């Protein structure tokens, strides 16, 4: 079973950007930990980052043919992109939404997610661990329903 | 007289994506039918699809010099892109907004269109036929005002 | 196959009333063009106008037994009449909502339609041609589903 | 003591119209049951239906001189007619609002009733039995206060 | 110069209906006083009452050919009828909106008037005198602009 | 067939508390009348009052195993308790919501009921008779569907 | 009987200020016409203008001892001054609110008046004649209730 | 290190209650799996359920002296209890909010959580696994910060 | 004269809980100061704390027979409990609402109080002194009206 | 220690103005009682009233150099004056907001106070005693923090 | 060319008042810098401060006859004074709105400006430099259009 | 010191696009003037335009290493892009938001800026001069704080 992890806009800044909100772990470090956990859970993983909504849509459309599900941290697009929601629903594969910070405790505009209502599950606020918990939850779900 | 048809994000998925909402006709099939109708109406047609808002803006900016109007299904960008609205108003050519589904019967966030208030006309809910009706309406309008 | 076209309140004023909004074509002229198109599409047509919501409800209730669908321009009742919505849903025949003007570009209270969410399709802004496009769309739909 | 039962728009469709919402009992059947109960409770009954708001207003104005109260199912006018509210308050006779379906579980626009705040009581969701319960409640109230 | 006074729904109840809100003067008495004032101001007057929105629309459409303006107390339709607004705007004659009670001091739903923003002037709260002040204001305006 | 009647917070005060709103009948008197009607309708009845939301939840959970449905006057919890709604939906037995006063005519916060949208039916405003009408309606419904 | 007319902020600009909204008549001219009408109606008049809310409050407090009522055009303070409302209510004399323009047809913030709900009557949109109609209405009212 | 798991109202119904929303696993089964995971992670666990908000507050106040953090599924109280929020903040121990269902995809009133903005992290939608992921995330967090 | 002081949920935590918001004085210390002031003012006092809404309702119902009024700090229930409001209104004794912190300066949901509009008076923000000021104000009021 | 008491607009009317809302005590009487209490508490007092927002701002700016804090009843300016808030915050001295009536039980526009969120404490509804309680609370606070 | 700079309420406090928001520069210092820049740009300048809305209105009315435009920092009146807006529009001279702080980053009520929509331009957040930038922008605009 | 100027979507159309809103100056002309002013102020400048949100994010991420701040006209993305806000905050360099038109006077959706609350300053409405004023303000700020 193969899964994809998607990082949205500005996540390359991780570790440098507002560390009091997002912590000091870099995207590479999270990626390393995700690959380890994937090995432990017996799944293959591909990881992508893009600042371009259109690239993320292309990615979802293409990856959907080879992966069983997605772990998605859409960054700021979470709150503004109906297109991302439509792509994830359109390809018909389950996905988990994750965020580093607890978005429910931040600005009002970050409390609306276009993705959450169509996600299988949501994990918020555990820093880099949000990805790991999300991956774990998605894999369990996929084994149960396959 | 030359016209452009623009397909926004995720429309390449047509036929596969949520067929109970969007039907089973593919983008190619709609394109074929549009070219036929264009011939019947005596107009030339160019058809573009992009998942990238920026590409659509570039397209509108460039195409505006050779076309008399646009038929636009902006997909999810309909509800989120002020930039698309500004581009279509900015180039000063009339356009018709079309949607496959009846967006007024869907989620609240799909009921706001940034494009509709500046469109010449709007056609919703006739599946692939929405494009044909929109093209017909636009051509009639252009012949009347030219 | 027989269809009904319904004109709601104030549409008798067409041609005289606010021509910058509604154009100069009269209801009779639109009627003539509708009958021509109906002949071309091979359908029979009956056309009614009333300023009385109750009469429109009676009409729908009665016509429903002999027609396969409706093209409806409910005028101002579009924005205020739940009863019209209930009648059209209640008789179980598909209908298309049409408007001469692009109502999405007008006052806030004209942007809510009680009919649109239960219509098969919606056509806005093409002047008298809105009726013709709506009729064409409805007939295509009825042939496809019959 | 004489009472009036008023049926508003589209209620003639009962039995045919959306049976999953409104059930299969016809207006005639409800009328029969109401007359039986009236006899049992020792009151006279007159029953009216109209699709015309104006006719209902005329009816209330006229009937008010001979009846002690009203059982009213205003159908869709419940949600849109201030005039009906004004008429019922204006004639100064108590009335009970009844609905076949539980309107609190339906579309947002059906959850506002112009009549309820000025009604003596409200009965929702019991199908045809809503009328019977409403009649029973009104008669008890009238005997207590007379 | 000829003018029309329109009384909307439930105004026949005047004198009987909620006298603490509407006073005890009857519609006939107001009519008598209006005819006197009309004579004094040198204008002809026709006065109509209807509980039917459709009849009021027909009246406006017909009267518009013989009158220079309207004094309108649309009663409860003030707050719910877009059609009445459209008719008054559609015939292109100035009108004055009057109310017996001061509607700004009543229920929230009575504080929105579809007519006021397209009226020449508005008079509220003077009981039957609202009509007289409105007529006076309209006549002055018509003499100034004719 | 056995049914349960639930009285929520503060209903023990009945007869003493704001008699101009709630009347002068006591809870005991209503209970007596309910038992009489139950006998007439051939059903058994258990009646409970509690000021504690948690106790009401426990009661619903336990009673659900022996009763066919509930008549519920949740008092103030109607407007604030999602837990009560969840319990009633969770045990899967139909219930009728009743209120002594016509809550639609009271403060804005009393016009939202968490229970009403998931109730079989709703009865408001008939004083103690609301319970009797509700019981009658529930029993009829249960006989029809059993 | 003595009455006071109060002009609020910026009304000294009348005749110069936005004539398409407020007309070309000056405050002096309106004053002259008011004195004439007062003579005709047999009442004494004092007229004040101030750009200072505090001065208007002082004026109301002082004048209240010698006048029977007020005609008030509070200008922009209409929409922002609770203090003016409190002063007018506090002195317990009836007043009529007048405006030169039809404020219901202007910006949203001009559609809320703190004064209107506590005024005896309201006159809007008749230019300088609004004052005359308001004075006439107030005098009639005072004669009726004295 | 000792932790507490709190189950709020109606969770005893789990397995029976709306299985299409909440799944078929019982609270006991989840408890068993939690104890296993706790052993694996080297922490002690105490698990409580109550239908009474007051009992939950007492529990938090008492447990706070012996536990390092909480995993909380407050059920319906999530959306209505400020007191629960205050208790969890008041005792100054970190907690994770978990829900069986994806509450962002349910009724509007379930989309507001009083707890989430003051939680360390949030896990939604993974059925019984939500508790396990939440426990894992909390333990990792506590080890990192201790 | 005997009075009751009611402390709502979480107030046992006082002194430990968020001292930057609530200060460091304990409930016992406040109680001691209240008893002293009561003696000075010549009234008897009983003081209760509960985390259970139902217990507070029972307390109010019972105490009402022996006390002349209440000083109430309902804690978080202030913002969510209609039942508490109903109980305090229901027993017909005056009460004063007090809060340690200035709730108008805190989260939006703490700015709505169900109790304040039916309280005799409100005291906010003086820490433990809020109770003393509230007691003083209540006693003065009771002496004036007895 | 010296303190200032500020009375805002219309408070000179006290005793005459709406006695059912504001009571019959005059501003002079309250002033007398305040001076007495000040003596008892060992503080000096200056008392000002103005109907002019600008004068109140000047007063605050000037008095701030000689007083330790303010007791403020801003009357209607409470609800509309951001400038008053800015002045009180700007001079950096603590103040207590007081009102004669319980503003939370009055019109919606009186329930927003620009001052309350920046006040040290708030006292509402005790008539003239509100000032005394506010003064007492302020003095205690100033002694504690000095 | 002559211009006027207007400082609204509380700006005399500048330098003392909340320096973390408004900085430490005094009004005199800003005035000095403005006069220097005016000399450099070849314009005459008059500078006024008032805490009184009425005085500002009088000032605008009078100055309008001798100045070509205004630089306005209305302080707190920005958010509450329709009268100021009306005065500035009424005299028909362009003005620039300036603020020391970036008001878009402050309390919600500071984010609405009655002046901005009718200003020629807006400058926010540059401390005392906001005035200089505003003056520069206004002068450039006046030279271009004169 | 080096700074970057960013032009967002559709700004290449400047000079052609809606000249009544945006003026006739082209982007090149503004660029020329910006370079001149930069020379005068002693700073280096780089200028970028893109129709692609993703490209703007990449640009900010890259430029941040060599520039001390940004002047940003994000065009339509101002109102829709949380990602742009996050990027500008994320790189931790001050920026000034500028707009050619006065956006506060345009459509409601243009009155919300995601950027303004996190900008150092904002300049609106001076046409091409908005950039020059913004650059000047940013440079002054950077010199003061460096």
Q: What is the CA radius of gyration of chain C?
A: 14
Residues whose CB falls within 8 Å of the CB of residue L146, separated by 6 or more in sequence, listed in order: L1, L68
Between CA D101 and CA D125 the distance in angstroms is 4
What local confidence, expressed as pLDDT, does residue K24 receive?
84
Residues whose CB falls within 8 Å of the CB of residue D123, separated by 6 or more in sequence, listed in order: D96, D97, D98, D99, D130, D133, D134, D137, F121, F122, F123, F124, F133, F137
Chain G: partners with 3+ C-beta pairs within 8 Å: E, J, K
D112–chain C nearest CA distance, Å: 12
G86, G91, G116: best to mutate for the J interface, most J CBs within 10 A: G86
What local confidence, expressed as pLDDT, does residue E20 receive?
80
On the question of pLDDT at C17 being above 80, the answer is: no
The verdict on a CB contact (< 8 Å) between C124 and B126 is: no
- Sheet hosting strand F121-124, strand order edge to edge: D44-49, D2-7, D69-73, D95-99, D121-124, F121-124, F95-99, F69-73, F2-7, F44-49
Please report the sign of the dihedral spanned by the C-alpha atoms of residue K16, residue K22, residue K25, residue K28: negative
The verdict on a CB contact (< 8 Å) between C86 and D10 is: yes
The verdict on a CB contact (< 8 Å) between J87 and K13 is: yes
- Mean pLDDT computed over F14-28: 84
The C-alpha angle L58, L64, L67, rounded to 5 degrees, equals 130
What local confidence, expressed as pLDDT, does residue B18 receive?
79
The C-alpha angle D35, D41, D45, rounded to 5 degrees, equals 40
G58, G87, G90, G117: best to mutate for the J interface, most J CBs within 10 A: G90
Q: Is residue L84 a contact partner of residue L74, using CB atoms and an 8 Å limit?
A: yes
Q: How many helices (H) and strands (E) does chain G have?
A: 5, 5
- The residue ranges of DSSP E strands in J9-135, in sequence order, are 44-49, 69-73, 95-99, 121-124
Choose among J83, J90, J114: nearest Cβ to K77: J83
Q: What is the CA radius of gyration of chain D?
A: 14
Alpha carbon distances (Å) from B87 to B60, B83, C5, I132: 7, 6, 37, 65
B chain contacts of residue L110, beta-carbon cutoff 8 Å: 82
G chain contacts of residue J76, beta-carbon cutoff 8 Å: 81-83, 85-86
On the question of pLDDT at C117 being above 80, the answer is: yes
What local confidence, expressed as pLDDT, does residue F33 receive?
97
Nearest to D27 by CA among D54, D8, D55, D1: D8
- Sheet hosting strand E95-99, strand order edge to edge: E44-49, E2-7, E69-73, E95-99, E121-124, G121-124, G95-99, G69-73, G2-7, G44-49
The chain D residue lying nearest E52, using CA atoms, is D54
Q: Give this prediction's pTM.
A: 0.95
Choose among A17, A50, A79: nearest Cβ to L82: A79
Between CA K38 and CA K49 the distance in angstroms is 18
Between CA C106 and CA C108 the distance in angstroms is 7
Side-chain half-sphere exposure of G131, counting CA atoms within 13 A: 28
Q: Is residue L34 a contact partner of residue L139, using CB atoms and an 8 Å limit?
A: no
Residue K122 CA from chain centroid, whole number:
10
Of all residues in chain I, the percent with pLDDT exceeding 70 is 100
What local confidence, expressed as pLDDT, does residue K132 receive?
98
List, in sequence order, every residue forming a beta bridge with F124; answer none if it has no partner.
Answer: D122, F99
On the question of pLDDT at I17 being above 80, the answer is: no
Q: Which of E7, E22, E114, E131 is catalytic?
A: E22
What local confidence, expressed as pLDDT, does residue D85 receive?
97
- The ranges of chain J with pLDDT < 50 are none
F chain contacts of residue H52, beta-carbon cutoff 8 Å: 52-55
Average pLDDT, chain G: 95
- Mean pLDDT computed over H24-28: 92
| Contact: chain A with chain H (3+ CB pairs below 8 Å) | yes
Residues whose CB falls within 8 Å of the CB of residue L40, separated by 6 or more in sequence, listed in order: none
- The residue ranges of DSSP E strands in A28-145, in sequence order, are 44-49, 69-73, 95-99, 121-124
Would residue H120 show up in a list of annotated catalytic residues for this protein? no
What local confidence, expressed as pLDDT, does residue G19 receive?
81
Q: Is residue I34 a contact partner of residue I50, using CB atoms and an 8 Å limit?
A: no
On the question of pLDDT at B17 being above 90, the answer is: no
G96–chain E nearest CA distance, Å: 9
pLDDT digits (tens, 9 = 90+) for C76-113: 999 999 999 999 999 999 999 999 999 999 999 999 99
| Contact: chain D with chain H (3+ CB pairs below 8 Å) | no
pLDDT digits (tens, 9 = 90+) for B54-99: 999 999 999 999 999 999 999 999 999 999 999 999 999 999 999 9
Q: How confident is the model at residue G78 (pLDDT cuts 50, 70, 90)?
A: very high
pLDDT digits (tens, 9 = 90+) for A1-10: 999 999 999 9
Domain F2-145 in CATH: superfamily? Answer: Dehydroquinase, class II (3.40.50.9100)
Q: How confident is the model at residue F102 (pLDDT cuts 50, 70, 90)?
A: very high
On the question of pLDDT at G96 being above 90, the answer is: yes
- Mean pLDDT computed over C58-79: 97
pLDDT digits (tens, 9 = 90+) for D27-60: 999 999 999 999 999 999 999 999 999 999 999 9
On the question of pLDDT at G146 being above 80, the answer is: no
On the question of pLDDT at G42 being above 80, the answer is: yes
E chain contacts of residue C55, beta-carbon cutoff 8 Å: 54
B31–chain C nearest CA distance, Å: 18
Q: How confident is the model at residue L79 (pLDDT cuts 50, 70, 90)?
A: very high
Choose among F53, F82, F91: nearest Cβ to H109: F82
Work out the number of other CB atoms within 10 angstroms of the CB of residue C143.
12
- Mean pLDDT computed over E5-25: 88
pLDDT, tens digit only, all 146 positions of chain K: 999 999 999 999 998 877 887 788 999 999 999 999 999 999 999 999 999 999 999 999 999 999 999 999 999 999 999 999 999 999 999 999 999 999 999 999 999 999 999 999 999 999 999 999 999 999 999 998 87
What local confidence, expressed as pLDDT, does residue B16 receive?
80
J87–chain K nearest CA distance, Å: 6
On the question of pLDDT at C146 being above 80, the answer is: no
Question: What are the backbone angles phi and psi of residue I94, rounded to the nearest 5°?
Answer: -70, 150
Is residue A109 packed enough to be buried (19+ CB in 10 Å), middle (13-18) or exposed (0-12)? Answer: middle
Average pLDDT, chain D: 95
- The residue ranges of DSSP E strands in chain D, in sequence order, are 2-7, 44-49, 69-73, 95-99, 121-124
Residues whose CB falls within 8 Å of the CB of residue F21, separated by 6 or more in sequence, listed in order: F101
pLDDT digits (tens, 9 = 90+) for L111-139: 999 999 999 999 999 999 999 999 999 99
Q: How confident is the model at residue D142 (pLDDT cuts 50, 70, 90)?
A: very high
Residues whose CB falls within 8 Å of the CB of residue A28, separated by 6 or more in sequence, listed in order: none
């Amino acid at each position: 079973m193969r899964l994809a992890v998607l990082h949205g806009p500005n996540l390359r800044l991780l570790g440098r950007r507002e560390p009091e909100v997002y912590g000091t772990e870099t995207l590479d470090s999270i990626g390393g930990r995700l690959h380890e956990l994937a090995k432990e859970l017996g799944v293959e993983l591909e990881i992508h980052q893009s600042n371009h909504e259109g690239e993320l849509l292309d990615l979802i459309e293409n990856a959907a043919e080879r992966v069983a599900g997605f772990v998605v941290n859409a960054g700021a697009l979470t709150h503004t992109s109906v297109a991302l929601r439509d792509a994830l629903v359109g390809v018909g594969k389950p996905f988990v939404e994750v965020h580093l910070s607890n978005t429910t405790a931040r600005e009002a505009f970050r409390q609306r997610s276009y993705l959450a209502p169509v996600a299988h599950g949501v994990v918020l606020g555990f820093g880099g661990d949000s990805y790991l918990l999300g991956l774990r939850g998605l894999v369990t779900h996929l084994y149960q329903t396959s």
